[in-house]
């Protein structure tokens, strides 16, 4: 996503640490990925600490792989809230001030029933000081993610802390990718820390069953984290509902693309949170023009039944993870009947979520957006089948 004015300013919110001192939480219009955000900060010479949950037991609030950032402007993101987050923020501020990384463990089983940590379990958080010399490494990772590539972050730790080779106090971070992204520099000119091919690190991935976490291997301790491309929400139609969906979906970590047949309803001024705003007369060549693939969630919210039908017919030829269409059940049956005449199988139509969104009796564009984004999150989590039903 192109960098926008105000990326650094953000919206300041107020939190409180364990000592009762106000703490600044920063909400920014992040780039497509955290990797892109980190690259931008480091390129600007902004001191930054990457805060990562590296292990979790019991009913701790966030799983391994949850990430946030600490900068001089405050804390961006969340690692679970409550006392856990307060301690993580305190440690991150300390790491930022000392330029030394730290690992923080919080055991929630020992807290009193009256505390805010009664869920039990424990979490370990890595506060990793980042260097401007790593800007190219994170920018390369962002490039891989934009193109849907596969990779693995590998951070080497020490059993009793984060000290590693010689006198350095900071972890050693490497990135392994399965292939060079398009338009990447020659392999001989790759950023320091990049390796091509996953064969050598596959045992670490297998040990974690392709999930983030700590692994001991040949006397070393590693934190491994698959490089996972974020989901892409393609909004077909740029009307009032789509605008509210875009705002909420972006806040829920979806990359948002918008397509409409009218330029005034698909542009960066109207959708500042969107990565791409496309204008396709008649929605022609939708799948190819928008690059719809397995990362995509397609929400069909155009300005007319005929456009909805045309977009749905094309979306069903893609490999999108989710396809939903706005409209009543009467409209659905009319559109489906027309598509059946075109040879679309019933099984494909049955997979479409129409009417789009979970049933919450939504009426306003904002309420409809909540129902749609909730459905997108359920589809992403694999819980949609048991949540969705027809009356």
| pLDDT per residue as tens digits for the range 299-312 | 999 998 899 999 99
161 in Cβ contact with 101 (< 8 Å)? no
Query: What's the rounded mean pLDDT across residues 272-287?
Result: 94
- Please tell me whether residues 195 and 247 are part of one structural domain: no
| Predicted pLDDT at 188 | 73
Task: Kindly report the pTM of this predicted structure.
Answer: 0.71
What's the pLDDT score for residue 120? 59
First-residue to last-residue Cα distance in the chain: 40
Least confident residue range of 34-43, 224-233, 240-249: 224-233
Same domain, 196 and 248: no
**What pLDDT, on a 0 to 100 scale, did the predictor assign at position 179?**
85
Query: Which pLDDT value is given to residue 82?
Result: 75
Q: Do residue 36 and residue 173 come from a single domain?
A: yes
Is the bond leading into 158 cis (omega within 30 degrees of zero)?
no
Do 176 and 200 meet the contact criterion of CB atoms below 8 Å apart? yes
Tokens read off for 336: 């489906």
CA distance 20 to 96: 20
Residue 5 domain flag:
no
| Of 103, 376, 372, nearest in space to 253 by CA | 376
Which among 197, 227, 257 is the end of a domain? Answer: 227
Inside any domain, residue 193: yes
Q: Mean pLDDT lowest for which of 88-92, 177-181, 357-361? A: 177-181
How many domains does the structure of the chain reveal? 2
Higher pLDDT, 231 or 17: 231
- Quickly state the pLDDT bin for 189 (edges 50, 70, 90): confident
Cβ(203)–Cβ(43) below 8 Å = no
Percent of the chain residues topping a pLDDT of 70: 82
Q: Does residue 1 fall inside a structural domain? A: no
Burial of 70 (0-12, 13-18, 19+ CB in 10 A): buried
Residue 28 has a CB neighbour count (10 Å cut-off) of 19
Length reported for the chain? 391
Domain that holds residue 290: 232-387
On whether both 74 and 223 belong to a single domain, the answer is: yes
Strands in the chain per DSSP E: 11-16, 22-27, 48-57, 67-71, 74-77, 102-107, 122-130, 151-157, 172-177, 194-196, 213-217, 220-227, 232-236, 255-260, 276-279, 296-300, 322-325
pLDDT at position 5: 32
Q: By the 8 A CB rule, do 314 and 286 touch?
A: yes
Same structural domain, 168 and 245: no
Per-residue pLDDT for 46 more than 50?
Answer: yes
Band the pLDDT of 56: cuts 50, 70, 90: confident
The confidence band for 105, taking pLDDT boundaries of 50, 70 and 90, is confident
pLDDT of residue 215: 93
Please check whether residue 2 lies inside any domain of the structure. Answer: no
Question: Does residue 245 share a domain with residue 197?
Answer: no
Give the pLDDT confidence of 142-157 residue by residue, as tens digits.
Answer: 988 877 788 999 999 8
Reported as a pLDDT band with limits 50, 70 and 90, residue 13 is very low
Pair (291, 190) in one structural domain: no
Residue 167 has pLDDT above 50, yes or no: no
Tens of pLDDT along 337-383? 999 999 999 999 999 999 999 999 999 999 999 999 999 999 998 88
- Residue 26's pLDDT is 42
User: What pLDDT, on a 0 to 100 scale, did the predictor assign at position 386?
Assistant: 78
Task: Indicate whether 183 belongs to any domain.
Answer: yes
The mean pLDDT value of the chain amounts to 84
Side-chain half-sphere exposure of 8, counting CA atoms within 13 A: 13
- Tell me what percent of the residues of the chain surpass a pLDDT of 90: 59
User: b vs e for 339-369, b when ≥16 Cβ sit within 10 Å of the residue's Cβ?
Assistant: beeeebeeeebeebbbbbbbeeebeeeeebb
The CATH number of the domain holding residue 284 is: 3.40.50.720
Domain boundary among 172, 194, 227: 227
Same domain, 198 and 101: yes
Band of the pLDDT at 52, cuts 50, 70, 90? very high
Whether residue 192 is found in the same domain as residue 281: no
Q: Let me know whether 237 and 221 are in one domain.
A: no
The answer, yes or no, to whether residue 11 has pLDDT greater than 60, is: no
Residue 47 lies in a domain: yes
């Amino acid at each position: 996503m192109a960098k926008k004015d105000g990326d650094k300013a953000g919206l300041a919110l107020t939190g409180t640490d364990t000592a009762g001192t106000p703490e600044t939480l920063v909400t920014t219009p992040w780039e497509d990925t955290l990797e892109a955000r980190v690259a931008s900060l480091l390129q600007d010479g902004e001191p930054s600490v990457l805060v990562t949950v590296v292990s979790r037991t019991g009913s701790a609030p966030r799983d391994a792989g949850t990430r946030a950032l600490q900068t001089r402007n405050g804390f961006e993101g969340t690692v679970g809230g409550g006392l856990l987050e307060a301690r993580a923020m305190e440690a991150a501020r300390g790491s930022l001030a000392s330029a030394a990384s730290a690992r923080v463990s919080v055991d929630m089983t020992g807290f009193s029933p009256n505390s805010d940590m009664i869920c039990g379990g424990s979490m370990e958080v890595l506060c990793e000081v980042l260097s401007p010399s790593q800007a190219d490494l994170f920018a390369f990772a962002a490039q891989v993610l934009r193109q849907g590539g596969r990779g693995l972050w590998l951070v080497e730790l020490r059993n009793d802390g984060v000290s590693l080779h010689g006198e350095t106090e900071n972890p050693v971070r490497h990135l392994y990718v399965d292939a060079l992204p398009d338009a990447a520099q020659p392999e001989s000119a790759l950023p320091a820390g990049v390796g091509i091919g996953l064969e050598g690190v596959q045992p670490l991935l297998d040990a974690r069953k392709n999930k983030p976490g700590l692994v001991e291997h040949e006397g070393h301790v590693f934190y491994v984290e698959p490089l996972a491309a974020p989901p892409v929400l393609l909004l077909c139609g740029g009307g009032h509902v789509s605008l509210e969906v875009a705002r909420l979906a972006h806040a829920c970590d979806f990359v948002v693309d918008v397509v409409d047949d009218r330029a005034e309803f698909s542009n960066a001024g109207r959708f500042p949170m969107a990565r791409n705003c496309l204008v396709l007369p008649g929605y022609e060549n939708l799948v190819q023009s928008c690059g719809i693939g397995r990362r995509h969630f397609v929400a069909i919210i155009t300005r007319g039944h005929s456009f909805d039908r045309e977009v749905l017919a094309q979306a069903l030829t893609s490999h999108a993870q989710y396809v939903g269409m706005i409209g009543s059940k009467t409209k659905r049956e009319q559109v489906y009947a027309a598509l059946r005449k075109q040879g679309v199988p019933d099984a494909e139509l049955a997979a479409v979520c129409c009417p789009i969104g979970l049933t919450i009796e939504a009426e306003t564009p904002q309420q409809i957006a909540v129902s749609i984004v909730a459905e997108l999150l359920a589809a992403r989590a694999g819980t949609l089948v048991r949540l969705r039903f027809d009356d």
